[in-house]
Amino acid sequence: MAIDYSESVLAKPVRKKRRNRVRSKRTRSIHRMKLDLDAIARTEVFERDGNKCIHCPNSDRSIQWAHVLSRRHLCLRWEADNAMTLCAGCHLFWHHEPAMAVDWFIKNFGERWERIRRIHLVNPKISVRELWLERCARSSSDL
Ligand SMILES: [Zn+2]
């Protein structure tokens, strides 16, 4: 049965698009900045969660960076409260059974759910360049 995402704030599974168009240097560099920010956020979330799936912490399956609300919302993409460490199986569960998944998240992380819902409602504009400068400066001073 097809899932209707039109009324939902939940993540719709992302289909990869073909990218044939030529990007400008500026676009390409913002794309790279997003990848840098992704790498930093992913590492921070894995560390916070002890490098284990938070849904089935006793398994030894490989881990993935997963989002509660879709990372296509830039205001939530690098927000630690919106990210979690899941194994591939639990990540699939997250996208295939979104209602059950969110129910589980709210029961276990109610305060985080309230914070990300508030950010989602306000939907603040994000400057990738400014965020990249801020986060990279922070991580290099941490070295
Ligand atoms: Zn799992």
In this structure, which amino acid lies at residue 33?
A: M
**Is residue 68 within 8 Å of 116, Cβ to Cβ?**
yes
In the structure, ligand 1 is a single-atom ion and the residues with CB under 5 Å from it are 53, 55-56, 87, 90
Residues 57, 62, 63: CA angle, nearest 5 degrees? 70
How far does residue 113's CA lie from ligand 1's centre (Å)?
19
Domain count, the chain: 1
Rounded to two decimals, the pTM is: 0.76
Question: Tokens 């400057």 sit at which residue?
Answer: 127
In a domain, 40, yes or no: yes
User: What DSSP character marks residue 125?
Assistant: -
How far does residue 92's CA lie from ligand 1's centre (Å)?
9
Tens digit of pLDDT for each residue in 77-116? 999 999 999 999 999 999 999 999 999 999 999 999 999 9
User: What DSSP character marks residue 44?
Assistant: H
The pLDDT value recorded for residue 58 is 82
Distance (Å) of CA 61 to CA 41, 48, 67, 91, 131: 20, 17, 18, 12, 32
Tens digit of pLDDT for each residue in 9-60? 566 666 666 666 666 666 668 999 999 999 999 999 999 999 999 999 888 8
In a domain, 37, yes or no: yes
43: containing domain: 32-142
In a domain, 25, yes or no: no
Strand partners, 69: none
The pLDDT value recorded for residue 53 is 97
pLDDT band at 136 (very low <50, low <70, confident <90, very high): confident
Residues 125, 29, 86: CA angle, nearest 5 degrees? 65
In this structure, which amino acid lies at residue 42?
A: R
Asked if residue 131 has pLDDT above 50, the reply is yes
**Is residue 45 within 8 Å of 80, Cβ to Cβ?**
yes
How far does residue 30's CA lie from ligand 1's centre (Å)?
32
